Amino acid sequence: MKILIFKLNFSIIFLFKYFIGSWDILRSGRPLGESKYVEKFSKSFSILQNCRYSIPVANGTVAIELIIKAIGIKNREIILPSNTFFATIVAVENSGNIPILVDIENDSFSVCPTDLRKKINTNTAALILVHIGGIISSKIEEIIQICSENKIELIEDAAHAHLSSYRKQKAGTLGIAGAFSFFPTKVMTTGEGGMITTNSEDLYQKIKSLKNFGRDNNNAGIIINDSGNNFKINEFTGLLGYLECQRVEERVKKRNKLIELYKKELLNTEFKVVTQENEYGCCSYYKCIILSPYEVDSEFKNYFKYNNISLTGEVYSIPIHIQPLYSNRYLNYSLPNTDYFSKHHFCPPLYPELNNKEVKYICDKIKLYSKNRK
């Protein structure tokens, strides 16, 4: 048995709908840029995430950058976890701000409230909360309270968290705005592309302008903001996103079933499947995160490769403060939880096309690895 790192299938009905939509785009005489299907995508995503506004953009990285610029943050400190994809810090720097790294806590591997309080000062403007693997932190209410007390904005990096929720509030609506990614491996995809969600009309209008060169939304010929750029998408991306919105709920349900199977199969072993451990929320489970008592080194990975199991990318094995580009800058940082987690977790395949037999095979090999180590 060979288990692929990722597989993405589209049904005949989906492909037929995409064909018809593409025919409509090419025959309509409408612009191939943002038009009918981009608007459909935007409205459909707003319904899914239960928010007032969804703004399609070029990718998840610029989504974060646009949020920061629209809020008006410049030359200030923005706190983010070191345990994130480096795109998060790139967005902070591209917006003209100073990234401050914070440690994570040990259940959902999100921002540690204790370390967050230590890192806030008079120059702190915002916190970027990253929902790792789609899991919303069990400390989310405390994190929101800390931001409120210190009058700093809460921005969500929800690249992993389509449809995840806490107390019926969807990811992307817990703070002032959320940034989503539609990279091919994500919970839903448009190939590339991103989305910003917000309930603020003022922020919506500013982001809508900034993604279109800073033009006045009521008069597209007038440039009004030199922070603007071209972060628009096209109609084919909008069409794919619109169709993905129609099937993503079923695909998230399948991810949840597979996670439950991983948990059941690895119960009473040394390996712990990380889940959203609260009674109030649901999770999209972009990744199956498994804590390992053993360091996840080349020997560990080669064992799975030998058994025809392709482990997916970690979240994350090289946190920002260890990345060569940033390591000298953060030499004096103490992030012990992040350091431990980066070396003691792995992510086996998790996608709706995976079947129960494949998951059981993966789990059997995980248990055998543990047995062989003893």
Question: pLDDT, tens digit, for every residue of 5-14?
Answer: 999 999 999 9
Q: Per-residue b/e over 123-137, b at no fewer than 16 CB within 10 Å? A: ebbbbbbbbbbbbbb
Q: Which residue has the tokens 């059941």?
A: 264
The residue among 46, 97, 42, 108 whose CA lies nearest residue 68 is: 97
Residue 249 has pLDDT above 90, yes or no: yes
Kind of pairing between the strands at 165-166 and 153-157: unpaired
* Across 172-195, average pLDDT: 97
The pLDDT > 90 percentage for the chain reads 89
> Do 12-245 and 248-373 share a fold?
no
Q: Per-residue b/e over 178-197, b at no fewer than 16 CB within 10 Å? A: bbbbbbeebbbbbeebbbbb
pLDDT at position 277:
72
pLDDT at position 7:
93
pLDDT at position 228:
87
Distance CA 240, CA 226 (A): 31
* Across 73-101, average pLDDT: 98
What's the CATH number of domain 248-373, 3.40.50.410, 3.40.50.300, 3.40.220.10, 3.90.1150.10? 3.90.1150.10
* Across 209-235, average pLDDT: 85
Residue 161 near residue 131, CB atoms below 8 Å: yes
Which CATH class, in words, describes the domain spanning 12-245? Answer: alpha beta
Residues 6+ apart with CB under 8 A from 224: 209, 214, 215, 216
Q: Between 235-245 and 36-49, two packed helices, what is the crossing angle to 10 degrees?
A: 30
Query: Alpha helices of the chain — where are they, by DSSP H?
Result: 12-28, 36-49, 60-71, 87-94, 113-119, 140-149, 201-210, 235-245, 248-265, 298-306, 336-343, 356-373
pLDDT at position 113:
98
pLDDT at position 282:
86
First to last CA, the chain: 26
pLDDT at position 101:
98
Query: Cis (ω within 30 of 0) for the bond into 316?
Result: yes
* Across 267-287, average pLDDT: 88
Q: Which of 122-136, 275-289, 358-372 has the lowest mean pLDDT?
A: 275-289
The pLDDT > 70 percentage for the chain reads 98
Query: What pTM did the predictor assign?
Result: 0.96
Residue ranges covered by each domain of the chain? 12-245, 248-373
pLDDT at position 371:
80
Residue 330 near residue 101, CB atoms below 8 Å: yes
Distance CA 171, CA 155 (A): 11
Q: Residue 278 — very low, low, confident or very high, per pLDDT cuts 50/70/90? A: low
Up-side HSE of residue 296: CA atoms within 13 Å toward CB? 26
Mean pLDDT estimate for the chain: 95
pLDDT at position 279:
63
3-class DSSP state of 204 = helix
pLDDT at position 220:
65
Residue 47 near residue 201, CB atoms below 8 Å: no
243: which 2 tokens? 């169709």
